[in-house]
Amino acid sequence: MAAESHVILVKVSGDIVIARQAGRELAAELGFSLTDRTMISTAISEIARNITSYAGTGEVRLLVDEREGRRALIVQAEDQGPGIRDITRALEDGYSTGRGLGLGLPGARRLMDRLTIDSNPGQGTLIEMWKWVPENV
């Protein structure tokens, strides 16, 4: 059974704020702590910023579904940009192909429970990351 998702189109920097806020609100509804809500919204900012920086446009989807047998808040960021040539290198701290500090993907991975990347040069990128929903809710 597919979960309902919230889709935020990402084209300009203001859309990053909208995606971040939507993630924070969904996390609050799911009973995440203030610390977890901050980590989730920060991770969303990082991957949404990559869309505006590298692909120009894309979308962020927020949903609640099962991953690895547990309920999770799932964030998917998808674009049709240039793709990531070397995913392993892109996940290294300090590595950046742009003007950034190289904190985006490695930082998002540290803030969430899981992060996966599906990307090929010239074919866009799909990043999926999730945080387990607190079990006391």
- Listing DSSP states for the chain in one string gives -PPPEEEEEESSHHHHHHHHHHHHHHHHHTT--HHHHHHHHHHHHHHHHHIIIIIS-EEEEEEEEEETTEEEEEEEEEE-SS--S-HHHHTSTT--SSSS-S-HHHHHHHHSSEEEEEE-TTS-EEEEEEEEPPTT-
Q: Distance between CA 81 and CA 112 in Å, rounded?
A: 24
Residue 74 in contact with residue 131, Cβ under 8 Å?
no
Pick the CATH number of 5-132 from 3.40.50.620, 3.40.190.10, 3.30.565.10, 3.40.50.300: 3.30.565.10
Residue 90 has pLDDT above 90, yes or no: no
CA triple 17-70-119, angle to 5 deg? 55
pLDDT band at 99 (very low <50, low <70, confident <90, very high): low
Q: Count CB neighbours of 60 within 10 A.
A: 27
pLDDT band at 1 (very low <50, low <70, confident <90, very high): very low
User: Above pLDDT 70, what percent of the chain?
Assistant: 91
Rounded to the nearest integer, the mean pLDDT of the chain is: 90
Q: Distance between CA 71 and CA 53 in Å, rounded?
A: 31
pLDDT band at 23 (very low <50, low <70, confident <90, very high): very high
pTM of the model: 0.91
pLDDT at position 97: 62
